[in-house]
Chain A
Amino acid sequence: SQKIEQNSEALNIQEGKTATLTCNYTNYSPAYLQWYRQDPGRGPVFLLLIRENEKEKRKERLKVTFDTTLKQSLFHITASQPADSATYLCALSNRDDKIIFGKGTRLHILP
């Protein structure tokens, strides 16, 4: 069955460093991959979308890579700040727009 795996353990990163989150998937050929941020008690917030024919996408301090051969996406936050602390969700979708989400990785940026 289709499966998305994200680091189940929380990730602790020192302020100012680059945080790198991983999203691996199996039994799926996504056309699109999205990253969302979720704070406690709130709904997810859309951050970035990358298509299967794109290798990399950037937005301000965020960078996403998408390797369809490795079936993996990496999500980077450069110059991390305590305000970046949240849970980050990876989501895959096909052209029929049926989206599946990973369970998310909790990121803590330590001052």
Chain B
Amino acid sequence: KAGVTQTPRYLIKTRGQQVTLSCSPISGHRSVSWYQQTPGQGLQFLFEYFSETQRNKGNFPGRFSGRQFSNSRSEMNVSTLELGDSALYLCASSLAGSFTYGYTFGSGTRLTVV
């Protein structure tokens, strides 16, 4: 079966712009989580969606937002980009939460802000 698909794989944006990243979870998975990964901070939790509702949220500013559609696909939006937003953004899906089967991650979107 197809894995978690993230698009695009790479993005270069300018400071002040906004960006939208997309994630298609494994078919049947209803939970989608987003993470930011940087060399200095490691993997940091952004938010989790389950059946179109945000279930958990990390400690990121309001410039970071997300949503989930009825087909479980999810999008993440970052507005007013800053240089520090350069990172690998990872999406992870699971059937109903990670505590039984763990998460399946996509390969990520590498965002570079210049």
Partner-B contacts on A (CB < 8 A): 31-32, 34, 36, 41-47, 49, 89, 91, 93, 95-104
Contacts and interface: CB of A to CB of B under 8 A. Distances in A.
B99 A43 contact: no
B7 to A, nearest CB: 14
Interface residues of B, number: 26
B42 interface: yes
Given A44-B105, A104-B42, A93 B99 contact: yes
Contacts, number: 65
Given A43-B4, A43-B108, A34 B102 contact: yes
Contact of A97 (B4, B43, B97): B97
A43 B106 contact: yes
Q: Which of A46, A99, A101, A103 has the most C-beta atoms of chain B within 10 angstroms of its own C-beta?
A: A99
A49 B107 contact: no
A99 B100 contact: no
19 contacts: A31-B99, A32-B98, A32-B99, A36-B102, A46-B101, A46-B102, A46-B104, A47-B102, A49-B101, A49-B102, A91-B43, A93-B98, A95-B99, A97-B55, A97-B97, A97-B99, A98-B56, A99-B45, A100-B45
